């Protein structure tokens, strides 16, 4: 879906940066407007943060994702997320507010149309970008994460003790 969407509808409007260790994506690195970045490791996280910061959108057309931590990473630097309606990331990405959410049967054309609409509407884009950053700061900073974790532990203890 991602490559089809880019090649048919988006390649004159933007560049596509694919960050993945999956060797299947290497074949796209010679296509115009596409770069494949496969050297991100725990030792090069600064490079990953820089990529998130440079991106206008984080497009995540996954079919299966249990948590979607990458969506939180993108949102933490104010990068809106465009994703499929699956997995744990649905708890973080709110359609029209912190990103765009598509059903699994949405077409490449539908994705591209909404992406272009967002990119061509600076006010809407800035509002969404700010909402991403605000949400990530509020929900995933160290203090609130500690408090949520403590509450979960407390609930589990109470449940076990009856």
The answer on pLDDT for 162 being more than 80 is: no
Q: pTM higher than 0.85 for the full model? A: no
Contacts of 67 (CB under 8 A, 6+ apart): 87, 88, 89
Read off the pLDDT of residues 38-85 as tens digits, 9 standing for 90 and up.
998 888 889 999 999 999 999 999 888 767 889 999 999 999 999 999
Q: Is the pLDDT of residue 147 over 90?
A: no
Res 154: pLDDT: 79
Distances from the Cα of 38 to the Cαs of 1, 61, 94, in angstroms? 20, 18, 29
Kindly report, residue by residue over 148-159, the tens digit of the pLDDT: 777 778 787 887
**Measured torsion, CA atoms of residues 100, 105, 109, 115, in degrees rounded to the nearest 10:** 10
Distance between CA atoms of 81 and 141, rounded to whole angstroms? 19
pLDDT band at 109 (very low <50, low <70, confident <90, very high): very high
For residues 21-38, average pLDDT = 92
């Amino acid at each position: 879906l991602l490559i089809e969407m880019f090649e048919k509808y988006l390649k004159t409007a933007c560049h596509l940066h694919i960050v993945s260790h999956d060797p299947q994506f290497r074949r796209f690195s010679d296509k115009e407007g596409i770069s494949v970045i496969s050297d991100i490791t725990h030792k090069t996280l600064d490079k990953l943060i820089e990529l998130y910061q440079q991106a206008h959108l984080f497009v995540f057309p996954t079919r299966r994702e249990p948590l979607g931590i990458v969506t939180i990473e993108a949102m933490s630097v104010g990068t809106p997320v465009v994703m499929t309606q699956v997995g744990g990331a649905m708890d973080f990405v709110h359609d029209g507010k912190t990103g765009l959410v598509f059903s699994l049967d949405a077409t490449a054309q539908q994705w591209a149309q909404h992406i272009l609409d967002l990119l061509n509407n600076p006010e809407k884009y800035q509002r969404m970008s700010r909402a991403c950053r605000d949400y990530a700061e509020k929900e995933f900073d160290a203090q609130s994460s500690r408090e949520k974790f403590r509450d979960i532990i407390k609930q589990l203890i109470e449940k076990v003790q009856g």
